Chains A and B, each alone.
Chain A
Amino acid sequence: MPAQFVLSRAAFVELLAALRAQGYRLMGPTVRDGAIVYDELSGVDDLPIGWTDEQDGGTYRLTRRDDAALFGYTVGPHSWKQVFHPPAVKLWRAVRDERGLRLEAEPLPAAKTALIGARACDLHAIAIQDTTFLHGPVVDRRYEAARRDTFVVAIQCGQAARTCFCASMGTGPRASAGFDLALTEVLDERGHRFVGEAGTPAGEAVLARLPHRPAAPEDLEAAAQRHDAALAQMGRRLDAGGVRELLQENLDHPRWDEVASRCLACGNCTMVCPTCFCTATSDRGDLAGREAERWQTWDSCFTMDFSYVHGGSVRRSTKSRYRQWLTHKLSTWFDQFGRSGCVGCGRCITWCPVGIDLTEEVRAIRETPSRPGPAAEPSHGHP
């Protein structure tokens, strides 16, 4: 393990200033509309100081802590895909005039971005989106440009929500890769400080310019207690063993009908999921018929339009749409990208208006598996 160091709270403030001075825009947690979201930070005061969150199926509440922790909460409705794979992106613009049709690509994003307070689950989610957009047969140049110059200050979780299950997915609660600096926030009788490690030469270079000292055994012990607390508080678990095969073998399981009777097909789970990547393209024109734009926006497999082919949608029932989402996330993701698409962050449980819990759905199928019978009717054909 690399040498651990200790930053005071004041030194943490200097860290943010140093990153800004290097031209990074700081993206991190802040309180807005009753939730902790990710947005651009001007400094430490924008952080949710002294706030925490209470989460459960369909429930999210901010409450006051009895201390002034900067990172005393877990993850909110946003994820870092907001930064690298934004909800709406203009791809190009077309102009039609007497000279004909001209198409101009939008310039690629050029921002240097520092992520302040990324959690272990989210670092895995970023790695998963990197696989989707950068390491497949086709590279998304826009994602690549947004992602290129990123500095990651990870925060090791010191508490977990009732919806968290990263431990069972092998993605947390402790971040072991994917960061430049990883910090554990500690508040005790020895003071408000951050016990941390550098993960890259870039992290070491930034650290070298900050006041810091080597971690003492007491600091390491205090940090380990925080990690243990997060692990102990983990409210849920998903038995991921063999889930890839389990779902494929149970595409006609009655549980899909049961969950469909509760699911509103609102798509919240896909919006808050840090790995869901689907997009729709739409064309917008001006009234004069001279200019048009192509936009790419987040889309959800829960919408009827998602699977539309002429004559109708392939997935008309809510059952088929929930099944598509869950089997993609936990099963066909392996075929496509070599791993699970779930990082155990629990956002889809918290932000489901009716509190549908994928760990429960998997458990229900596991407890009463039924291999698929012969299909009674053919699948959707071309009309």
Chain B
Amino acid sequence: MTPTAEPPATGPSAFLPRSFRVAAVHRETAETRTLELQPVDGRPAPAFVPGQFTMVYVFGVGEVPMSITGDPARDDRLVHTVRVVGAVSRAIAGLRRGAEIGIRGPFGRGWPLTEALGRDLIIVAGGVGLAPLRPVIYHVRAHRAAFGRVSVLYGARTPDELLYRRELARWRRDGAIDLQVTVDRASAGWTGLVGVPTLRLRQLTIDPARTLALTCGPEVMMRYAVRELEHCGLDAAQVHLSMERNMQCAVGLCGHCQFGPDFLCRSGPVLRADRVLPRLAIREL
């Protein structure tokens, strides 16, 4: 029941994208779109572990790493949420239904779902950092009895920047997981929580011995999340975070994603916090 797909065999094929067709585009916010992609060859979409990423290629524009954000139980499509931050992401966000793009992967190490079995989960996400954590939420909700208490703290800068709003509302209503959505700055009509999500950690009821925490967002947010979780009694070894660096080959050969001894595309993007905390404290590493 735990997705255990390994990255595919490599060789020239590791560098050669596979063609996918855009099956649907959803507008999440002014700057983000979610794309559902289907393999052109009619075969299933690749299996993945929540937290893994692919390299997304737009013909003639370029290629960028992108977290997989769909349901790991579905093999009919691959889902990515893209935020416009540069030329390639702008091109991806501008794709229409029917367009063809290239995909390599999935790559990297995902969230430790086997280790999470039977335990309480705390998920802390900031901004588009929710995208690589959404597959975990799908997985947990599909196997709800296999996990203990599950708390999701999700923050965005403003209400307009929240992803997956209808889905979040549905999850809040059915109560299968404890979902708290917060914004840094409220706007007219916002009746929810205000403030960064890490500040809500101390209000959770936490049994540190049986808890595992997963976090993804800006590095500064993840640092505070680890600090707060430690305050709540967790060890940094019980916290996993997802790192972002320049990635070009995605198989640990181009050197760009080095973070100290790690090639993040291979030993990450998900890493145990106790391994990376000392490095996060060093500027420009």
Contacts and interface: CB of A to CB of B under 8 A. Distances in A.
Do A and B pair up? The answer is: yes
A336 B251 CA distance: 14
B254 A100 contact: no
A100 B282 contact: no
A101 B19 contact: yes
Contact of A280 (B19, B101, B248): B248
Interface residues of B, number: 52
Interface in B1-38: 10-17, 19
A281 B249 contact: yes
A379 B248 CA distance: 22
Interface string A364-383: 00000000101101111111
Contacts of B219: 378-382
A34 interface: no
B252 interface: yes
Contacts of A328: 258
B253 A277 contact: yes
A67 interface: no
Interface string B102-145: 10000000000000000000000001000000000000000000
B113 to A, nearest CB: 21
B220 A378 contact: yes
A138 B256 contact: no
A315 interface: yes
Given A100-B100, A292-B59, A142 B281 contact: no
Given A320-B283, A375-B281, A379-B283, A100 B19 contact: yes
Contact of B261 (A278, A335, A374): A335
A92 B16 contact: yes
A251 B12 CA distance: 37
B263 interface: yes
A296 B254 CA distance: 9
Contacts of A105: 12-13, 15-16
Contacts of B252: 136-138
Contacts of A383: 218
B204 interface: no
Interface stretch (B43-51, B60-68, B163-171, B180-188): B60-68
Contacts of B282: 251-252, 372, 375, 379
Interface residues of A, number: 62
B254 A281 contact: yes
A339 interface: no
Contacts of B255: 277-279, 299, 301
Contacts of A324: 258, 285
Contacts, number: 155
B253 A281 contact: no
Given A100-B100, A101-B100, A379-B284, A132 B253 contact: yes
Contacts of A301: 255
Contacts of B254: 278-281, 296, 299
A232 interface: no
Contacts of A381: 218-221
Interface in B194-221: 217-221
B27 to A, nearest CB: 20
A279 B248 contact: yes
Contacts of A319: 284
A381 B126 CA distance: 12
A12 interface: no
A118 to B, nearest CB: 23
A136 B60 CA distance: 31
Contacts of B263: 336
Given A133-B253, A299-B254, A139 B261 contact: no
B40 to A, nearest CB: 7
Contacts of A142: 12
Nearest to A331: B261
A307 to B, nearest CB: 6
Nearest to B218: A382
Contacts of B246: 306-309, 314
Contacts of A375: 281-283
Nearest to B260: A332
Given A310-B86, A314-B245, A378 B12 contact: no
B280 interface: yes
Interface in A139-198: 139-142
Interface in A259-300: 277-283, 285, 289, 292, 294, 296, 299
Contacts of B256: 278, 280, 299, 306-307
A78 B57 CA distance: 33
Nearest to A142: B12
Interface in B251-285: 251-256, 258, 260-261, 263, 266, 279-285
B228 interface: no
B248 A281 contact: yes
Given A307-B246, A332-B261, A379 B281 contact: yes
Contacts of B15: 91-92, 105, 294, 296
Nearest to A316: B284
B223 interface: yes
Given A281-B63, A382-B218, A138 B281 contact: no
A187 B251 CA distance: 49
A320 B260 CA distance: 12
B184 to A, nearest CB: 14
Interface in A63-109: 91-92, 94, 96, 100-103, 105, 108
Given A101-B40, A332-B261, 10 more contacts: A92-B12, A105-B16, A108-B12, A136-B252, A296-B15, A306-B256, A309-B246, A314-B246, A375-B283, A381-B221
| For the complex of A and B, 6 pairs with smallest distance between CB atoms | A278-B255, A335-B261, A310-B85, A320-B284, A285-B60, A375-B281
11 contacts: A101-B40, A101-B100, A105-B12, A280-B254, A281-B248, A301-B255, A306-B256, A336-B263, A375-B282, A378-B283, A379-B219
